[in-house]
A and B are shown apart, each in its own frame.
Chain A
Amino acid sequence: MVHFTAEEKAAITSIWDKVDLEKAGGETLGRLLIVYPWTQRFFEKFGNLSSAQAIMGNPRIRAHGKKVLTSLGLAVQNMDNLKETFAHLSELHCDKLHVDPENFKLLGNVLVIVLSTHFAKEFTPEVQAAWQKLVAGVANALSHKYH
């Protein structure tokens, strides 16, 4: 089980408190679909994904990105218990959505990049390290119920 020190928790929440879930969520999901185009297969019903611009401007992508990032908020509140927190979502992604768990790591990477663009110098090396630990923990927790 992953453990977060008090400093790591503080580094994570100091950023999280300032995150605009819709903006950052839409940005993150959009960039995932652009940088790793195969991930678009999970969003075929979302309308126009024909170009980077279309993807970034797609309202359904923004809304879904917000939903995804809202779930990540659960992680921030439950850092000591990620596996249990994400048990249901893990089952959902395995049994209903059939998402390759590798994609959780990709989304985590993209989120870290988006946070870096938004927070710049405030996204210090220590803050980056804490966030990379969190997204890895979330990816593991989301994979935990796969069978």
Chain B
Amino acid sequence: MVNFTAEEKGLINGLWSKVNVEDIGGEALGRLLVVYPWTQRFFDSFGNLSSASAIMGNPRVKAHGKKVLTSFGEAIKNLDNLKSALAKLSELHCDKLHVDPENFKLLGNVLVIVLAGHFGKEFTPEMQAAWQKLVVGVATALSHKYH
């Protein structure tokens, strides 16, 4: 089980309190679809994904990005118990959505890059380390119920 120190929790929560879930969520999901185009297969019903600007401007991508990041926020409230907190979502992604768990790591990477872009210097090395630990923990928890 992954353990977060008090400092790491402080860093994660400190940044999270400034995150606009709709903006950052939409940006992260959009960039995932642009940088790793195969991920678009999960969003065939979302309309126009024909170019980077179409993807980034697509309202369904933005809305879904917000939904995904909202779930992330729930994970952040349960840093000591990610597997339990994300158990249902893990089952959903395996049994209903059929998402290759490798994609959770990709989304985590993209989220870190988006946060870096938004927060600039405030995204210090220690902040980056804590967030990278978090996204790995979330990816692992989301994979936990796969069978």
Please determine whether B116 and A109 come into contact, CB atoms closer than 8 angstroms. no
Q: Which residues of A contact B31 (CB under 8 A)?
A: 125, 128
- Taking CB atoms and an 8 Å cut-off, the chain B residues in 121-136 that contact chain A are 121, 123-126, 128-129, 132
**Taking each of A114, A118, A119, A125, which has the highest tally of chain B beta carbons within 10 Å of its own beta carbon?**
A125
Please state if B35 and A35 are interface contacts (CB–CB under 8 Å): no
Let me know if A113 and B118 touch, CB within 8 A: no
Contact flag A113-B52 (CB < 8 Å), given A34-B126, A56-B125, A125-B31: no
Assess whether A129 is interfacial by the CB under 8 Å rule.
yes
**Chain B interface residue count: which class?**
20 to 34
Instruction: Give the distance in Å from the alpha carbon of A118 to the alpha carbon of B113 in the complex.
Output: 11
Give the complex CA separation of A30 and B120 in angstroms.
16
Q: Choose one: A56, A121, A126, A132; the contact of B52 (CB below 8 Å).
A: A126
A55: B residues at CB distance < 8 A? 125
In the complex with contacts A109-B109, A120-B117, A132-B35, A125-B52 CB distance below 8 A: yes
CA distance A56 to B124 in the complex (A): 10
Secondary structure type dominating chain A contacts: helix
| CA distance in complex: A121, B113 (Å) | 12
The docked-state distance in angstroms from the alpha carbon of A126 to that of B118 is 17
Instruction: Tell whether, in the assembled complex, residue A30 and residue B123 are in contact, meaning their CB atoms are under 8 Å apart.
Output: no
**Is A117 an interface residue, CB under 8 A from the partner?**
yes
Whether B30 is near chain A, meaning CB under 8 Å from some CB there, is yes
Selected contact of A34 from candidates B56, B121, B125, CB within 8 Å: B125
Question: Is there contact, CB below 8 Å, between B56 and A113?
Answer: no
Identify the closest chain B residue to A56 (Cβ): B125
A112 to B55, CA, bound (A): 21
**1/0 contact string of A91-102 vs chain B (CB within 8 Å):** 000000000000
Encode contact with B along A102-115: 1 for CB under 8 Å, 0 otherwise. Answer: 00000001001110
In the bound assembly, the distance between CA atoms of A35 and B125 in angstroms comes to 7
Q: What is the bound-complex CA distance between A121 and B121, given in angstroms? A: 14
Q: Are B35 and A125 in contact (CB under 8 A)?
A: yes
Per the bound structure, the CA–CA distance linking A116 and B118 in Å amounts to: 8
A residues at B contact (CB < 8 Å): 30-31, 34-35, 52, 55-56, 109, 112-114, 116-121, 123-126, 128-129, 132
Q: List 5 A-B contacts (CB under 8 A).
A: A55-B125, A113-B112, A113-B123, A120-B120, A128-B34
